[in-house]
Amino acid sequence: MLHLIPLSRPEVVITANGPAVVHSNDFTPVTASRPARAGEILSLIATGLGPTRPGVDPGASFPTSPLALVNSPVVVQVNGAPVEVSYAGGYPGTTDTYQINFQLPADTRPGAVALRLEAAWVAGPEIGIRVQ
């Protein structure tokens, strides 16, 4: 039996305003006063997603061109179900910050919604956002 112990786990960045999840159309934060909408495309900012392609040397910043795409599978779960991830890559100019774009399902019910990020089959902690 082989058991891998990852050096890090994926985590959504937490800011003073809560989880770093933004509306993709204008990059304003998803908050209780400006909740997400069912079917909307959102972006989240995370750490710990691992290597990219093309590769970036440890400690070097992610380039603006070409974009550094996450090398391993990335999954976003909404209320326990995987959703479509349209982009997962290193955030240009940073060293361990990634942007993940995903779409909330059209049938997402209003209220508190649980999000979980996985990279390379390693799950991060669950966070919550509001949906109207």
Q: Would you state the pLDDT for residue 7?
A: 63
Judged against a pLDDT cut of 90, whether residue 58 lies above it is answered with no
* pTM of the predicted structure, to 2 decimals: 0.92
Domains, in order of start, for the chain: 11-131 (2.60.40.10)
Judged against a pLDDT cut of 70, whether residue 4 lies above it is answered with no
Which tens digits make up the pLDDT trace of 79-89?
999 999 999 99
CA 50 – CA 69 distance, rounded (Å): 10
pLDDT band at 5 (very low <50, low <70, confident <90, very high): low
Q: At which residue do the structure tokens 């390379």 appear?
A: 120
Q: Would you state the pLDDT for residue 130?
A: 97
Which tens digits make up the pLDDT trace of 37-57?
999 999 999 999 999 999 999
